Structure 1
Amino acid sequence: MNEDELNGNLGMGSSDFDQNKFHQVTVSDPHARSSSAFTVPRRYVDLKFLNAGAQGTVVSAKDTLTGQKVAIKKMQQPFVMTMSAKRAYREFVLLTSIQHPNIIRLLNAFTPQTDVANFREVYLVMELMSHNLHEVISRLRLDHRTLSFFVYQMLCAIRHLHQSGIIHRDLKPSNIVVNDECVLKVLDFGLARKQTVDTAMRMSDYVVTRYYRAPEVILGMGYSEKVDIWSVGCIFAEMIKHQVLFPGRDRIDQWTSITKVLGAPSDSFINRLGQSAALYVRTQPQYPGQSVEEIIPDGDFLANTENSGANLTAAAARDLLAHMLTIDPNDRYSVEAALNHPYVKLWFKEDEVNALPSENRYRAEYDRDDKQLSEWKALIFNEVMQYQNTHDIFQGTG
């Protein structure tokens, strides 16, 4: 049984889409031993499974009109629950809005359905990159230049998002892709949120994969764009150590994992917590924490790749990391401070760091709206139709 049968889409057959414009290809997932039907414009051929996750299935394909290889993501059951529909809406709007060299570029978007009643599939066509960062970390020891360049590009991406009024909120190695030229791009905006002056807003439990979750998120504080800096710091450490720095089985264990490494937080931080969170933190073991040299010893780096003239040294890397992985967000580096740190500043390019903000069409009030599932479905359908009406999805390059 394939994904479409499981989702109750039996019997739709050839009448469900225009066969003059679309064709249907069944793609098998060799790991899960399942399959998924991709209904795509005929310009896309040679579909091959790449990966699958909670948010969708991704295949590679050849675009016969441009000659380039692309990635096509089929959003995973976007209208089954309100939460998944809201996430699909966020991702679609932001991918069609945000443009930066270090953010994945949308090449095309479509649905084979022509009315909202039958609407059930959304496809996103994006640049095809060689690997995600998780794969790179698991296979390679990175030299200082590559570590520095990857961190710089992550920082450029989140600075652009922040300048465009967006906090990513779910940065992790599997949401970052690279190519063979070490160009890095951030993707997956399903949890991104528009920045707000309402610092009392709280993140849901679903925000940010646990290992990369900032202390203020774990403890239910208000949050700012500095949650993304914490995540970059965690990823940076993982690139060096080849293991997760703060592994936690659950929220409580995650907090314990952080304090065992970094030590107990300051009174200033604890005093800003809610009453129950503050009481919890004060009753936990008061770990002294480790020095940054103990956390990231010299042996974790490739010593023969140091270049003191370019500030590509273990000491410089540890200094940047220590300023990113600071429990109190008030003391944590801003993205601007991180970009000006000697370890990454050698890559500084004005058009990358200070690119003009992208148009931000995402409406922040939707994060707080109590919309029905049918309303989210209609919103996404209208967005896809608007895109298709303004892009020649069958003949042009999008």
Structure 2
Amino acid sequence: METQWVAEYPHAAMEKRPRKRPRLTWDMPPPLPSPKGPLPLYCGLELMNGSGANHLFSSYYYPGVSRNASPPWRGDDKDGHYVFAVGENLSARYRILSKMGEGTFGQVLECWDLEKKEFVAIKIVRSIHKYRQAAMIEIDVLQKLAKHDVGGTRCVQIRNWFDYRNHICIVFEKLGPSLYDFLRKNSYRSFPIDLVRELGRQLLESVALMHDLRLIHTDLKPENILLVSSEYIKIPDYKFVPGSSKDGSDLKNLPKSSAIKLIDFGSTTFEHQDHNYVVSTRHYRAPEVILGLDWNYPCDLWSIGCILIELCSGEALFQTHENLEHLAMMERVLGPLPQHMMSRADRRAEKYFRRGVRLDWPEGATSRESMRAVWKLPRLQNLVMQHVDHSAGDLIDLLQGLLRYEPSERLKAREALRHSFFTRDARRLNYPM
């Protein structure tokens, strides 16, 4: 079977569902203007000129930009984001190369570390008090993880942090694209089960480390899991007849390396902290969070179960933005919610049940489209069998343990790592770390 080796990923403008934090790391940027051209537009005020690693040294020679000088003082934009221009310095040490992404917290820039001579990703937090406070908590978590993540193989490594013009700046190692970006730019084609097994193993090891340190991530999702390398291979997609497509759609992409790292600890909480608030991105939110019940470590394991299904199928399991529909989808895939959880739901969640004994569905559905979205979902066993060839039985059993409604009965991270899904077919693994 012939394979084509590729070092960069082509841009494909495709989107199936709204996401909280779209990342642009893998997009192929346009070339920088020549030294005789105009200065780059200020990011945060206008659309920036993209950059990339291959434009590193040309970015050093913008007219009017001194190699080591700090840029002129500018006010932040209306949302408190730092306003910058590609080619400028961020402090005397870092040269800005491109914008990698943006979220509620601030923005992430690709930079060149002039001291260490390496590429880094710098998270620049908005100059708003609550985000600055959250950033300091994240730095505490990152430093704690760095002390215990031997070899730095499980969680993104913090390189440095500093306060620059009222913005907390956190310097990270530069990694590859997120698993979500890989799926999206690969037309949401699923991963082979052997690769899912290795990705799942690493994710569980990362979460097990966090839980050992009494930390709860609370926002696990494919966007927050990054491949270490951007390299990938092209192989024939068995769903297409070889050579049947002139546009290359009969080929699918696979990561050249399976190595991943967990990122985004801005929502991470310590076990002893207050847990009386909503956590997790919608698609990966555990039932106890929706029902207003106490949540803890098991909410991370529910998210992992949802992620594994998404990696196998290519699409999020619970594609919804409304609580009642979300609960109805859970019952469709996993069976009815336990009576004792329904009876303990808080006041905000009481309205989702009829007399506290069953879900108010389909009577409470907001539309026929909502009802169809629920009814089209298959049971968990059938869903897995649609996308998995070998190891389906072991995967179904693992998912049933990760997606148990009752948090106390859900598998713990280290228990899941001992599951036969990871131990029975160890010899099948052929993805380099």
Bigger fraction of residues in helix: 1
1:70: which partner in 2?
120
Match of 2:161 among 100, 106, 109: 109
Amino acid at match of 1:242: G
Stretches of structure 2 lacking an aligned partner (at least 5 in a row): 1-40, 47-65, 74-80, 230-256, 363-374, 427-433
With 240-249 and 58-67 compared, the bigger mean Cα shift is at 58-67
Q: 1:347 deviation in Å? A: 10
**CA 1:213–1:241 in structure 2 vs 1: closer, same or farther (change >3 Å)?**
same
Cα distance in 2, alignment partners of residues 105 and 151 from structure 1? 20
Kindly state the Cα deviation for residue 46 of structure 1 after the two structures are TM-superposed.
5.1
Q: How many residues align?
A: 306
- Structure 1 residue 229 corresponds to structure 2 residue 301: yes
Contact 1:21 1:42 in 2 (8 A): yes
Report the alpha carbon displacement of residue 35 of structure 1 after superposing the two structures with TM. Answer: 8.5
TM-score (norm 2): 0.63
Pairwise mapping of residues 66-105 of structure 1 onto structure 2 (< 5 A)?
Answer: 66-79=116-129, 82=130, 84-99=131-146, 100=149, 101-105=153-157
Partner of 1:377: none
Task: Give the Cα–Cα distance (whole angstroms) in 1 for the partners of residues 412 and 171 of structure 2.
Answer: 33
Q: Which stretches in structure 1 are left out of the alignment for 5+ residues?
A: 7-18, 27-33, 114-119, 307-312, 349-398
In structure 2, relative to structure 1, the CA distance for the partners of 1:244 and 1:286 (3 Å cut) is same
Partner AA of 2:308 in structure 1: F
Q: Displacement of 1:336 after TM fit?
A: 1.8
Q: Aligned letter for 2:205?
A: C
Is 1:152 the equivalent of 2:201? yes
The Cα of 1:23 is off from its aligned counterpart by 2.9
For residues 147 and 335 of structure 1, what CA distance do their matches in structure 2 show?
16
Match of 1:327 among 405, 408, 421: 405
Output aligned runs, 1:1-398, within 5 Å.
Answer: 23-24=70-71, 36-37=83-84, 40-45=90-95, 47-79=97-129, 82=130, 84-99=131-146, 100=149, 101-113=153-165, 120-138=166-184, 139=186, 140-180=189-229, 181-196=257-272, 202-205=275-278, 207-274=279-346, 277=349, 280-281=352-353, 282-285=357-360, 291-298=379-386, 300-301=387-388, 303=389, 306=390, 313-345=391-423
Give, in whole Å, the separation in 2 of the partners of 1:43 and 1:347.
Answer: 48
Secondary structure of 1:94's aligned partner:
helix
Structure 1 vs Structure 2: percent identity of aligned residues? 23
Query: Structure 1, residues 352-374: CA drift from partner, whole Å, max 9, x if none?
Result: xxxxxxxxxxxxxxxxxxxxxxx
CA distance in 2, matches of 1:20, 1:218: 52
Asked whether the 8 Å contact 2:132–2:168 carries over to 1, the reply is no
Distance apart, 1:24 and its partner CA: 3.5
Instruction: Report the 3-state secondary structure (helix = DSSP H, G, I; strand = E; otherwise coil) of the residue aligned with 1:96.
Output: helix
Q: Is the 8 A contact 1:133 1:177 kept in 2?
A: yes
TM-score (norm 1): 0.69
Cα deviation digits, residues 88-129 of structure 1 (max 9, x gap): 23212212221222111001111234xxxxxx2111110111
Give 1:332 deviation, angstroms.
1.3
Q: 1:51 to 1:276 in 2, by over 3 A?
A: closer
Q: Which residue of 2 aligns with 1:389?
A: none
Counterpart residue identity of residue 170, structure 1: D
Opposite residue 73 of structure 1, the aligned amino acid is K
Deviations 1:185-221 (A, max 9, x none): 111111111103x8xx54423x211111100000000
Separation in structure 2 between the aligned mates of residue 52 and residue 275 of structure 1, nearest angstrom:
35
Q: SS of the counterpart of 2:409?
A: coil
Specify whether residues 286 and 252 from structure 1 end up closer, same or farther in structure 2 by C-alpha distance, changes over 3 A only.
closer
Closer, same or farther: CA 97–316 of 1 in aligned 2, 3 Å = same
Opposite residue 383 of structure 2, the aligned amino acid is I
Sort the Cα spacing of 1:271 and 1:46 in 2 relative to 1 into closer, same or farther, 3 A: closer
Secondary structure of 2:70's aligned partner: strand
Question: What letter matches 1:216 in structure 2?
Answer: E
Distance 2:144 2:347 in 1: 40
Q: Which amino acid aligns with 1:179?
A: V
Q: What is the CA distance between 1:168 and its match in structure 2?
A: 0.7
Give the superposition deviation at 1:320: 1.1
Distance 2:261 2:217 in 1: 13
Instruction: Output one character per residue of 1:44-64: Cα deviation in whole Å (capped at 9) or x when no partner.
Output: 235112111112211222223
Shift of 1:246: 0.8
CA spacing shift, 1:280–1:144, aligned 2, 3 Å: closer
Secondary structure in 2 matching 1:265: coil
Deviation of 1:86 (Å): 3.7
Q: Equivalents in 1 of 2:382, 2:224: separation in Å?
A: 28
1:161–1:346 CA distance, 2 compared to 1 (3 A): farther
Report the Cα offset of residue 279 of structure 1: 6.8
Aligned 8 A contact 2:218 2:269 in 1: yes
